[in-house]
């Protein structure tokens, strides 16, 4: 939740003047100056208009999930052998794979989950299947999801799937987000 003190910081980060913000928000420049200096308690509607404009301008500067995602999804099936999946991870130099059933994402398998299973199981790894180590499905976002939302999700999940027209069309990992950020800097 934004606070009044955030207005100046966000405005400066966006590189816009008080006059530009006032014109876009339909309020006076002096009101913005007074808010930023803490000399006035503005009404709710004025503050809402200001934050709406700042939010819209912030989103315009961000990349969308469709600009970050990798369209080639390396995936696995729940009935695949774990040794085959480990080999796939090695081959493509990745540490997690989404698990699909048909065209639907149903879970995820990660190096961490595999290591946990190996360390706690007496079973031979050759007898294990993806379903034995599969984790919950990673989040699926719309292709127009802003990069800050994707970044926040990647704090809690090793990958994010991206949907276009109701179908999974790409994948984003932390590495993909870093690569996209370095391209745009």
Say what the pLDDT of residue 184 is. 66
140 near 90, Cβ under 8 Å? no
Decide: 157 and 136 in contact? Cβ < 8 Å. Answer: no
Q: Which residue has the tokens 């800097």?
A: 185
Task: Look at residue 125 in the predicted model and tell me its pLDDT.
Answer: 85
Q: What is the reported pLDDT for 168? A: 95
Among candidate residues 44, 43, 48, 53, the one with its CA nearest the CA of residue 18: 53
- 93 dihedral zone (left: phi>0; alpha: psi -120 to 50; beta): left
* pLDDT tens over the chain, length 185 residues: 568 888 998 888 888 999 999 999 999 999 999 999 999 989 989 999 999 888 888 766 678 899 999 999 999 999 999 999 999 999 999 999 999 999 999 999 999 999 998 888 777 888 899 999 999 999 999 998 888 889 999 999 999 999 999 899 999 999 998 888 777 65
CA-to-CA dists, residue 61 to 58, 64, 98, 129, angstroms: 5, 10, 30, 44
């Amino acid at each position: 939740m934004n606070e009044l003190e955030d207005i100046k910081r966000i405005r400066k980060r966006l590189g816009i003047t008080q006059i530009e913000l006032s014109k876009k928000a339909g309020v006076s420049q002096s009101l913005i100056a007074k808010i930023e200096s803490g000399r006035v308690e503005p009404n709710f509607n004025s503050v809402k208009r200001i934050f709406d404009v700042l939010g819209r301008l912030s989103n315009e500067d961000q990349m969308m999930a469709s600009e970050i995602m990798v369209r080639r999804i390396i995936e696995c099936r729940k009935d695949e052998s774990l040794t085959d999946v480990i080999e796939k991870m090695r081959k493509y130099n990745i540490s997690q794979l989404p698990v699909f059933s048909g065209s639907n994402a149903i879970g995820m398998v990660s190096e961490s989950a595999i290591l946990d299973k190996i360390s706690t199981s007496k079973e031979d790894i050759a007898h294990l299947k993806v379903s034995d180590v599969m984790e919950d499905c990673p989040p699926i976002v719309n292709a127009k999801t802003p990069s800050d939302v994707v970044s926040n999700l990647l704090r809690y999940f090793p990958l994010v799937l991206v949907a276009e027209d109701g179908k999974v069309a790409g994948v984003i990992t932390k590495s993909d987000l870093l690569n996209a950020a370095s391209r745009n800097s």
